[in-house]
Amino acid sequence: MISFGVDIGGTSVKVASLRDGAVSWTGKSAPFARPDTEQIIEAIRQAIAGRDVSADAIGLCCPGLLDRAKRMITLSVNVPGLVDLPLDELIAQALGAGRPPVAILSDANAVGYDIYMRRNLSGRLLCLALGTGVGASVVDEGGTFLHVSGESPGHFGQLDVTLDDHPPIGPDGGAGSLEAYIGAAALAEHYGDQAAPQLTPNDPPVKALVRAIRIAHAIYRPQHICLTGGIGVRLKPLIEQIKTVVTNNLTRVARPNWTLTTGDNDYHAATGVARWAERQHV
């Protein structure tokens, strides 16, 4: 089976083609900022770069609030060109007509699904997608998702992890949110474009992340936690230090022998939604 995944992110489009579950190729568009619909369509075509996208199953993930009945995004702060556009129509315009029905999954869930299935995990996975925004996915046995608010386990990026009396304000207007500390815009403002490799456990973004992970242990009790997205993957050099700080006097509610890892690359969402499309096709 050939499956194709499209990941519309906050700053670019990434795509992945899979054959029988193995990645054949991946592609990425040029960067964008708050794109309109035409820019999104052009970015998808850029990411494909003329390759053959004939597929038995097609998956799409994108940021924002999904109205699954209408198959539309109703709110997307960073990608306004997605709003109120039928997603099947978007894919048809970008790839051409005659495509199979699109399997739609949130970007965070697509990442979590890819990590869970690719690594053959068991138990509960909390996947934190750290990028333009901050998202979360909770994946249980069999690749099923925990849904608390819509199709998410809650709005984890808006979790208040205030560190002092002058908390930063997140894109949603919330003070002290995790996204306000470690989202891409916050890091670029305070540390420059190459922020993640330069961070230390004493920097506010990492302290905020530690606090969020400690809270997550009390709420979700995961066996595994994985940091993904453009920022999460680049925190790999700090992963052991982060775990040490999280573990110090951690609540006994937390599961013993829990693991903390990072993603492997920037294409987990694209490959994950392609895998999800295979599952829906079967």
Tens digits of residue pLDDT in 2-19 = 999 999 988 899 999 999
| pLDDT for 29 | 97
| pLDDT for 66 | 85
- Characterise 281 by phi-psi region: left (phi > 0), alpha (psi -120 to 50), beta (else): alpha
246: buried, middle or exposed (CB in 10 Å: 19+, 13-18, 0-12)?
A: buried
| pLDDT for 59 | 97
| pLDDT for 71 | 93
CATH number of 122-262: 3.30.420.40
DSSP 99: P
Residue pair 100/281 in contact (Cβ under 8 Å)? The answer is yes
| pLDDT for 65 | 82
Q: Do domains 2-109+267-281 and 122-262 have the same CATH topology?
A: yes
**Which residues of the chain are modeled with pLDDT < 70?**
193-197, 282
Dist CA 203 CA 95 (whole Å): 43
| pLDDT for 195 | 60
Residue pair 83/73 in contact (Cβ under 8 Å)? The answer is yes
Q: Which CATH superfamily is domain 2-109+267-281 in?
A: ATPase, nucleotide binding domain (3.30.420.40)
Domain residue ranges of the chain, discontinuous segments joined by +: 2-109+267-281, 122-262
Dist CA 100 CA 200 (whole Å): 46
Residues recorded for the chain: 282
Report pTM.
0.92
| pLDDT for 131 | 87
